[in-house]
Amino acid sequence: MQPEGREPKEVGVWVRVSTEDQVRGESPEHHERRARLYAEAKGWKVVELYRLEAVSGKAVMAHPEAQRMLADIRSGRITALVFSKLARLARNTRELLEFAEIFRACGADLVSLQEAIDTSSPAGRLFFTMIAAMAQWEREEIADRVAASVPIRAKLGKPIGGAAPFGYRWHNKQLEPDPNEAPVRILLHELFETHQRKGTVARILNECGHRTRNGSPFSDTTVSRLLRDPTAKGLHRANYTRTSDRSKNWALKPEEDWVYTEVGAILSDGLWERCVAILDGQKASRKPPARKAMHLFAGYAFCACGTKMYVWSNSPKYICESCRNKIPVGDLEAVYREQLRGFLLSPEQIRAHYEAADTEIHDREQLIASMEADLRKIETEDDRLYQLYLADSLSKEDFGRRHKPLSERRAQLEGELPRLQAQLDVLRVSSLGSTEAFEEARNLALRWPDLALEDKRQIVEAITDRIIIGREEVELRLLHVPFGTSADCPTRPHGFIAATS
């Protein structure tokens, strides 16, 4: 009973009765009345009724009534949900526990009458978990029994779920050729034997106005699947795939589990076998994609006009597609090697390179510190304006007018700071590892002619920003700032060496 002087607890009643339950005579009205009488006995007030009729308990969380109930729990409209038994709420353990977590977070109770569960108590929560696991076990047992019956039904040639293959239909629980689709299925095989191209077959079928059963155009994948399906030659394959409950992806079962049954053929064995033989031959002769030729300066060679230069397949030169500027592969490598060797053996140039990088790090740190100070000032001013507004010393209009530019500036700073900090992190990491990289590159540069292409490429990637190729000279820019410049955040130019090509 409700204690005297206290407002009655406002609760909801949950009624879910599946089709199977209705067949057994369990009416929704019966479960509703039972819950209402219990609430009345407890002195609670029923303010909402949630009815899910003919709905399976496997997954109910996404049902509109379930979502309406959860919205009422979160808003405080109801503080408890009463139902006849756990299986009426849901059979899926995960969903049952998820319901319990939501109710617990909102300070609401789950009340199951048959199991006498009240989730507001520790004992109730423990018992709830145990009973929920049993409900899940019961559902899995049913699923196992259904799965065990599938091979038996397949061997008898009976439907085991899913649509009939294209070209066939289920009639009186038997698979038979479909008079409308069978001619298209035959045409598909004949076209493939003639053209031996799945894409060509799909295109011809689509151009002739044929479509798959759901109205979609034929595709290479659809054509391939139908060509390999032995149903068309009178041998229907079943029980050969399984589907994951979580991912919904299907996979083949072991071949010993596959079940074949004889059905009416719509094409000859010979035509089906010839098409499959063509497919197998194409698969066996298919070569892996050829490895693309790797060129030493690909991605680093730029024309003076700003366009990247690449080695064309019919020419041993780096060529600019825009202005047709070009340089032989061997000449560019010779210039790069000579200038790189001179730089790596010059302590003065290396020292200047590192000093430039250190200066860049220091400048970036100063910029970040300045922006962080600006952000703190904005937050202080914004807080001061808000306090004045709360004290009625500032009108709503004045507060909005003064707050808007602060808010815009803060958004700009908060958007820019992470980018600058990331750039600083990259600079620091690059600086820490640059000494080792340059020492290794110096040793390798002395042995350049003996190096493999992969080793040379590693040197290029480690220390090169870009190579600018003009009509008369080649400019080598070494990397000490690992990101480009921008108009908003200018950086010092990269160190470079110029040489006449």
- For domain 168-284, the CATH superfamily is Putative Large Serine Recombinase; Chain B, Domain 2 (3.90.1750.20)
284-319, pLDDT tens digit by residue? Answer: 876 554 444 568 888 889 999 989 888 887 778 999
Q: How far apart (Å, rounded) are the C-alpha atoms in residues 319 and 303?
A: 8
What integer pLDDT is reported at residue 493 of this predicted model? 34
Question: Which residue, 445, 496, 500, 492, is CA-closest to 466?
Answer: 496
Residue bearing the bigger pLDDT, 131 or 394? 394
Query: pLDDT at residue 137 above 70?
Result: no
Distance of alpha carbon 256 from alpha carbon 272, whole angstroms: 23
Span 355-363, average pLDDT: 74
Q: Among 321-325, 368-372, 430-434, whose mean pLDDT is lowest?
A: 430-434
The residue extents of the domains of the chain are: 10-151, 168-284, 317-500
pLDDT of residue 469: 92
> What single string gives the DSSP state of each residue in 63-126?
SHHHHHHHHHHHHTS-SEEEES-HHHH-S-HHHHHHHHHHHHHTT-EEEETTTTEETTSHHHHH
Cβ-contact 410, 455 below 8 angstroms:
no
Query: Which residues fall within 8 angstroms of residue 127, CB to CB, at 6 or more apart?
Result: 115, 117
Contacts of 223 (CB under 8 A, 6+ apart): 188, 192, 198, 201, 202, 205
* Per-residue model confidence (pLDDT) at position 295: 82
Instruction: Give the tens place of pLDDT for each residue, 82-128.
Output: 988 877 887 776 787 778 778 877 888 888 887 777 776 666 666 65
The answer to whether domain 10-151 and domain 168-284 are alike in fold is no
Helix 329-344 × helix 347-390 angle, to 10°: 80
Return d(Cα 18, Cα 28) in angstroms, integer.
9
Burial track 371-398 (b if 16+ CB lie within 10 A, e otherwise): beeebeebeeebeebeeebeeeebeeee
* Residues 138-185: tens digit of each pLDDT: 556 655 555 555 555 545 555 555 678 899 988 887 888 998 888 899
Q: Give the CA distances from residue 30 to residues 25, 35, 39, 338, in Å, rounded to whole numbers and listed in that order.
A: 10, 9, 15, 93
What percentage of the chain exceeds 70 in pLDDT? Answer: 68
More confident residue, 140 or 485: 140
Ranges 33-42, 237-246, 260-269, 299-308, most confident? 299-308
Q: Distance between CA atoms of 413 and 377, rounded to whole angstroms? A: 12
Which pLDDT belongs to residue 496? 39
The Cβ of residue 243 has, within 10 Å, a number of other Cβ atoms equal to 10
Q: How confident is the model at residue 483 (pLDDT cuts 50, 70, 90)?
A: very low
Looking at the DSSP assignment, which residues form a beta bridge with residue 10? 45
**Which tokens sit at 60?**
């109910």
CA 110 to the chain's CA centroid: 35
Mean pLDDT of the 360-367 span: 77
pLDDT tens readout for residues 67-78 = 999 999 999 999
Helices (H) and strands (E) in the chain, counts: 14, 18
Residue 494 in tokens: 């990269």
pLDDT at res. 234: 86
CATH code of domain 10-151: 3.40.50.1390
More confident residue, 4 or 233: 233
Tokens of 34: 């039972």
Check pLDDT > 50 for residue 369.
yes
pTM for this predicted structure: 0.33
pLDDT of residue 343: 66
Q: Which helix (H) or strand (E) holds 16?
A: strand 10-17
Residue with tokens 């076209």: 191
